[in-house]
Structure 1
Amino acid sequence: MSQTTPGRRLSGRRVRLDTTTVLAVLLPLVTVGALLLVRGGGDSVAEPHPPTRTSLKSATIVCPSALPGSPAAYLSTVGDGARGEVEVRAGSEKDTARLQEGRVTTVRPGTGPVAVDGEDDLAAGLLGARFGGAQLASTACPATSPHQWFTGVGAAVRHDSVLEVVNPDAGRAVADVTVYAGTGAVDVPRLRGVSVPGHSSVRLDLGAVAPRRGELALQVVTSRGRLAYSVLDSSDELGRGQASQDWLPGQADPATDNLVLGLAGGAGSRLLTLANGGDDEVRAQVKFVSEDSVFAPEGLDEVRVPPQGVARLSLTDALQSAVADGVVGLEVTSTQPVTATLRSFVDGDLSHAVGAPPIRHGASAIVPTGAKRVVLAGARSVGAVTVVSRSASGEELDRTRADLRPGRGAVVTVPPRATLVSVVPQNTSVTGSVIVSGRGAAVVPLVDPVLSGLVPDVRPGLS
């Protein structure tokens, strides 16, 4: 029997070991080389790129639930030359409405919330509103929003608020609600992770969910899907037979300069509420705005707003004669951003004036018929504004040009028949509201419409 010598056996093993070693060394090198070749196209793959701004192709606004006896909703478009049909959806029911630039269309989809979808030319400049109530009440139909503030809400018997959260899409959406009080943020587990099924809504009565005395503020954040938010605020003077409700407009972001415009005339209580979502105390100064000047009234102290809390300032006495003397609003300047709402219960009617952002391009609002004024202030430089008023049929009722100057307010009277009011500033930005009076008062802030969207820059790359 033949035998293999030990030397040959060793030699065979050494050949196999060398091959393994070579592969172990070469494979990582080949992998690294391939990665370098993939990245060799330039630095553009690794560099971040901002989103591209494009014309708005679709938009959704949501009208809140109707007040008793007022089931109608009102729609319009201010898109240049826009006309066509929008989809109107109430729960699972769908319908269409025909819109044309400058005209107001009335729809009656029921008493629940209504989602309106506009495409292409009807996306930019889509407007909606709801009115009604025993006393005058009005609200614009908001667009879906990733976050929103509501300042000056209540959760008690005499002052209560209902937050309505509407999901216009088919999939489930989720909202998180933070409550701020005078002592800081309030832990309310039922307001965290509020789930809203597709094409439905959730109504949260704060008096039942988180009963608490005093003025509060809400910060709502959409954590999943798309949602639209609205608040119906109510005041009930128990035993006096006076009760009223009106919608409380939201604010997108806190600011260090808040102009609160549109003050109802008459006798009653007026309460300014400021909310601070930051971690430091904020100091705020309140001034009055008239057509002649912006001035600090005597005896009005600085307001201190606690971290993640709210502060309130009674202006009942200070504004009682000031409104009759021509004061049209408040200017609130603060050391850090806050939100601001003036809640007025005057002659048995509830109304709200909130801090609104500057109008830079032009803003429009659908408003009820009746006596009304456009109140403007906050011009950054000398300029002008053109206020155009139209009837529901699109007839131009009035076109007024008013001068704007820093440190002064401006008031433009609007014909009672007007239902669509547009404001276009020239050479300056300005803040404005429409105040409607009749059976009480309602204040509608003027806000620049969304005319474009952002498309994210998405490119293949390696993590």
Structure 2
Amino acid sequence: MTGLLSDLKFRIGACVLALALAGGVGVVTKPKAATTRAEGVEEPARTVVNRTALACPVLGAGVKTQSLVSAVAPTLPEDTPTASGDEAPLSIAPLDTTANPVGSVLARGRIATTAPTSKLATLGIQGTGPLAAGTAATVTTTAPEGVNRGMASAPCVVPGSDFWFVGASGATGRRDVLVLTNLDSINAEVDVTLYGPAGQLDAPNARGVVVPARGTTEIYLGQVAAGQRDLALHVESTGGRVAPAVRDNATNGKIPAGVDWLNQSATPAEKVVVPAIAPGGGVRILTVANPTDLQATANLTVNGPNGPFKPAGLSTMQIPAGSVKVIRLEKVLHGDASAVTITSDQPVTASARVTDSTVREFASIGATEPLRGPAYLVIPAHKQPAVLQVTAPGETAGVKFELRDAANKMVQARSVDLVGGATTLITFKPQARPTYLMVEQLRGDIVAGVTLMPPAKPDEDDVPQVAVWPLTTSLVFRAQLGAQPDVGAALK
């Protein structure tokens, strides 16, 4: 017996058998039938989500500024597990625990929208129970004049501990602010690392920043990175969770040149894709950040509507260690809807900035990871068509989408085959009320976003609407740390 116990294979087999018995004899005798999916597509992980928390930041004060939040617990695939119990409402409320809610998500599939208000306050969406799974929300602010003129709209932020933003600035003509929100009941502490054109910045005032419980803290980039035209930010929580957002007010002299939130960028990697670079006139700026200690050589591929191509004179760029680099793309994009794939010998991340033809309103989109399960997005009311831009950066791929109205009625649905390396456009008609979108990868790798651009000849009193909303895999379908191991997998 002693000899058997000293045998490594025997000990491993005994452990597996013990796990199997602990999990039930059915694991051995009646394994679950395999689920068949398209080749190249892994079955997305499904996690029971029984609690939701989203932070919806707001702009600074401005003339005639109006803000609202639209939220939904979306319709999920039939086999998606949800928490047990009654569908308790999800609260939309200011951070102050004594404040009354300003809205509630009451039923799955029905969009809840707060009343437009000039009383600008960060809102949190929180709750437990079955409605928590998949919750998505968008905060939208508009103003017809002043520093907030235009439209600023972005998905509400899930708290976490590690975030990247690319395309910020501390230069004259930009008033960028990192807004840190803490939805929890204990203080959080954050370190912010900044990278500029000449390398990593020495910014001691951005280290050890305390974000009070149920509160916000703002870091003005013009103070911690004065004069730095192009910036990348790495936000890391050293205690507690935060929901960061970068507010960007731009001016041309004394003339407002737009306001929006900078969407997050994917964690640096040797291959990243910036999706949903909107079509039309105006400026298209790509910013690439190399946070490593070595110079990066990056190669660019444009994924246009007709397929991939290398932009002449711009296909290769050198990015010094710890720095950011900017290139203009509007001349090579020719007004086409596109994405940009960046491959590098060092981990990098990136974002793109798009403006309207007058260069008085803008939006940004960060690099995103390929979808590995359904993504959900609430699209606010819009006077112009919104465009779903889906890119297959590699081989041919497939995608399915569903657009539903505020009452959960299907507006548009379709499955689409995607040409490898190309960007495909799907147009949604103007909507007087918010809608919500589900996008799911069927096969191959895809990245996606929704863009909104103003008409070529807007009316004089129109508030310009420029927006880019990223699509990212819902938390319900992401593999979660601490998930229980599959005992049956050891027996296959």
- TM-score, with structure 1 as normaliser: 0.81
CA change 1:332–1:252 in 2 (3 A) is closer
How far apart are 1:342 and its partner, in Å?
1.2
Distance in 2 of aligned mates of 1:383 and 1:315: 26
User: Could you tell me which residue of structure 2 aligns to residue 331 of structure 1?
Assistant: 341
Q: Give percent identity, aligned residues only.
A: 26
Give the match for residue 304 of structure 1. 318
Gaps of 5+ in 2: 1-13, 17-44, 143-148, 455-463, 485-492
Instruction: Compute the displacement of 1:88 (Å).
Output: 2.8
Matched with 2:93 is 89
- Aligned with 2:135 (options 118, 126, 140): 126
Distance 1:54 1:271 in 2: 38
Q: By percentage of residues, which structure has more strand?
A: 1
Aligned partner of 1:446 in structure 2 is 471
Match of 2:108 in 1: 101
The CA distance in 2 between the partners of 1:147 and 1:236, in whole Å, is: 30
Q: Which residue of 2 aligns with 1:74?
A: 70
| Residue equivalent to 1:113 | 122
Alignment partners' CA distance in 1, 2:281 and 2:423: 23
Q: Distance in 2 between matches of 1:335 and 1:79?
A: 41
Residue 376 of structure 2 aligns to which amino acid in structure 1? S
Q: What do the CA deviations read for 1:247-295 (whole angstroms, capped 9, x no partner)?
A: 1001241122222222334443322111111111111112221222110
The 5 Å alignment of 1:333-352 reads: 333-346=343-356, 347=358, 348-352=360-364
Cα 1:412–1:345 change in 2 (3 A) is closer
Query: After TM superposition, what 4+ stretches of structure 1 lie above 4 angstroms from structure 2?
Result: none
Match of 2:413? 399
Q: Which moved more, 1:269-278 or 1:146-155?
A: 269-278
8 Å CA contact retained: 1:364, 1:422: yes
Could you tell me whether the CA contact under 8 Å between 2:91 and 2:105 is conserved in 1?
no
Q: CA deviation at 1:237?
A: 0.9
Separation (CA, whole Å) in 1 of partners of 2:397 and 2:318: 34
Cα pair distance change 1:164/1:396, threshold 3 Å:
same
Code of the residue aligned with 1:128 in structure 2: it is A
SS of the residue corresponding to residue 223 of structure 2 reads: helix
Work out the number of aligned pairs and report it.
404
- Residues of 2 paired with 1:435 and 1:71: CA distance? 20
Unaligned runs of 5+ in 1: 1-41, 45-51, 458-463
Say if 1:79 and 1:126, in contact at 8 Å, map to a contact too: no
Contact 1:148 1:219 in 2 (8 A): yes
Shift in Å, 1:332 = 1.7
Contact 1:363 1:423 in 2 (8 A): yes
Query: Superposition pairs for residues 147-186 of structure 1, below 5 Å?
Result: 147-186=162-201
Given that 2:90 and 2:132 are in contact with CA atoms closer than 8 Å, whether structure 1 keeps it comes out as no
Which SS does the other structure have where 2:473 is aligned?
coil
**Residue of structure 1 in register with 2:380 after alignment:** 368
In 2: Cα distance, 1:379 partner to 1:449 partner: 21
Distance change >3 Å, CA 102–CA 416, structure 1 → 2: farther
* SS at structure 1 position matched to 2:169: strand
RMSD across aligned positions (CA)? 2.4
> Which amino acid in 2 is paired with 1:119?
T
Query: How many angstroms apart in 2 are the aligned matches of 1:244 and 1:415?
Result: 24
Report the CA distance between 1:313 and its aligned residue: 1.2
Q: Report the counterpart of residue 58 of structure 2 in structure 1.
A: 65
Aligned with 2:449 (options 419, 433, 440): 433
> CA shift at 1:242, angstroms?
4.2
1:424 aligns with 2:440: yes
Which residue in 1 is equivalent to 2:365?
353
**1:235-274 matches, cutoff 5 A:** 235-238=250-253, 241-274=255-288
1:174 and 1:223 in contact (8 A); partners too: yes
- Aligned twin of 1:3: none
Given the two structures, how large is their TM-score scaled by the length of structure 2? Answer: 0.77
